[in-house]
Structures are given as C-alpha cells and as structure tokens.
Amino acid sequence: MSERVLSVRHVLGIDGLTRADAELILETARSFHEVNTRALKKVPVLRGRTVALLFFENSTRTRLSFELAAKRLSADTLSFSASGSSVQKGETLIDTARNIEAMGPDLVVMRHEQSGSHHLLLRAMSGAVVNAGDGQHEHPTQALLDAFTLLERFGRTPKDGLVGKTIAIVGDIAHSRVARSNMLLLPLLGAKVRVCGPRTMLPLGLEQYGVEATDDVDAALAGVDAVMTLRIQKERISGARMASDRDYFHRFGLTKERFAGLPEHALVMHPGPINRGVEIDHDVADHPRAVILEQAENGVAVRMAVLYLLAVVHAKAERA
C-alpha cells in the first residue's frame, strides 16, 4: 500500500480534493479491487475501528457498498436509517449525531437530503466524515467509482484511461449531485465532459466547470467514449418541468437508435437507480457495453479506499 496520504481529513466533495488525492484514492481502490477477487475478501486494516453509516435519505448501492467496504476492512459498523429512528419523533440531525458520537465511531458516512449538511455534522463528530450524497450538491464516491470504472475499461492510469476521452452526461444536470461531482472530477483527471439535458435542467454557471453544455442530445453523443445517463430527480423538482416520461425518453433518452449511433467502443454508464424506458432503453441498459453493474461492483473497492485512507490520515494526526 502507498506511503502517500490524503491532503484532507474528510471527504465532503470532489471540491476540496486535489488531483493527487483523487489519483491516490483510485490507485488504492485498485489494490482493494484485487482483494475483492480473492476467496477470502477481507483485510484487517480497520480492525478495532467503527464506521457509522447514517442514511437520512434512501439508498441501495451507496449504503450497501459502504457497509460491505467497512466489513471487508474488518471494521465494526453502526447502521442508522432515518426511517425507523428517533428522527421520526422530532430529533434533530445534530442531536442524533451527538448521540452516535457518544458511541465512539472512528469514521462517519452520511447521506442527507440537505446540501451542505455535512458541515453541521462536523460540529458533532471527532472522526472522519464521508459524504455519501447531500441534496443536489455532491456525491464524491459515486464520481470516484465512475472514474475507476472508466479506468478499468480504458487504461489503468488517468493518463492512459481518461486524458483526451470525452464523456457525455445526459439528464437532469441541475438537480444531480452525481453530475456535479463528475463535472469536477473528470476534467481534473484530464477528460472532456459534455453535459446535456432539457434547458430547464441545465443550471446556470456551467462554464465554471469547464464543460460543454447543450440541449441537443445527438450533438452531445457524437464521438463520445462514454455516456452517463441520469434519471430525472423528481424528488427535487417542484412543478412540471417535463411533459411526460414518454416525451423525455423520445427527446433525451438513450434509445436503441441513439445507442446504435455511438462509436463502437463507447460505454454506457448510469449511477442507478435506473428508470428503464425513461432515461435509458430497456435493452441498452443490459447491453454488454453497459457497465452499470461494474459501477456498482467497483463502488465497494473505491469506498474501501476512501475509508482506509481517511483512517490513515486520522491515525497520523493522533500520533502527532
């Protein structure tokens, strides 16, 4: 394992990570990916440590892969869901966090519907904090696992696998934390990013990310190396922004026809959950060039890397 350490004590977003941090996480994930292919998929590096998983918002992939990541590193886990907890009885985030802090977790992973809520969490927690998705702000480990998946397919280092590659992100860009984290990470690692969606779902200020933006999906998909389709974040949209799912599929969905027009090597990605027949055709989602399940698999190794590297930073700080 590398002697290098992260420059940060918490992973709250891609914003805040250096290129060296991102590369270190991706390289470390490569080692853990190898661990995950062994018969005994476990290493003792976090034995005696506790990882708290606080999910105030629904999740399948992120929650399960953080839990598996912690267990494969031999950590104990504390698992919290807002549904079925005392949040339903009126307890605030900060009071919930203080009570969990009293149980002594070393690392805290949180998903919350409020953008920026992790800064509030930091007031109650002494351990490392990882953002597992905050509102429409960031989902850093999703972007890291997306980059890892591209590297696995195109070349193991960013220089070989990402520099000069063009990735289209198509969907509800305005409300997507996955889009935001990828717009920060992929250009940091040398890829070109095009974002595409209905005009009402393209936020202002996209130029600050250095990405191209268009509402013409066929132009967005021309010559790409990968297309990342995103669902419409209906839970974050008030009022009708689209006529119907059917209309959206026709105008922006990755249909069989649009897929057939992609370069032969182009990959199809989706962070999940997918809505077949809305943002992606049913059969395209299951095509061999769709790496959606590889993304889910790679999430475990990437999250192992993030937890391990943060534990190293905190152990060094304790010794200093």
Interface residues toward ligand CP, by CB under 6 A: 59-63, 133, 139, 142, 271-273
Comparing CB distances to ligand CP, the nearer of 140 and 158 is 140
Alpha-carbon dihedral sign for residues 77, 81, 84, 88: positive
Comparing CB distances to ligand CP, the nearer of 127 and 133 is 133
Comparing CB distances to ligand CP, the nearer of 306 and 312 is 306
Comparing CB distances to ligand CP, the nearer of 190 and 272 is 272
Comparing CB distances to ligand CP, the nearer of 10 and 139 is 139
Which of 139, 87, 147, 91 shows the shortest CA–CA distance to 118? 139
Q: In what order do the strands lie in the sheet with 192-196?
A: 212-214, 192-196, 166-170, 226-229, 267-269
Per residue in 216-252, is it b (16+ CB within 10 Å) or e — as a string?
A: ebeebbeebbbbbbbbbbeeeeeeebbeeeeebbeeb
Q: How far is the CB of 15 from ligand CP (least distance, A)?
A: 18
Q: How far is the CB of 5 from ligand CP (least distance, A)?
A: 27
Q: How far is the CB of 111 from ligand CP (least distance, A)?
A: 7
Q: Which long-range contacts (CB under 8 A, 24 or more apart) does 15-18 make?
A: 15/138, 15/184, 17/140, 17/185, 17/188
Which of 192, 189, 191, 215 shows the shortest CA–CA distance to 202? 215
Comparing CB distances to ligand CP, the nearer of 124 and 295 is 295
Cβ-proximal residue to ligand CP, closest one: 62
Q: How far is the CB of 29 from ligand CP (least distance, A)?
A: 16
Q: How far is the CB of 118 from ligand CP (least distance, A)?
A: 16
Q: How far is the CB of 271 from ligand CP (least distance, A)?
A: 4
Radius of gyration (Cα) for the chain, nearest Å?
A: 19
The percent of the chain in helix, strand and coil, each rounded to the nearest 5, is 45, 15, 40
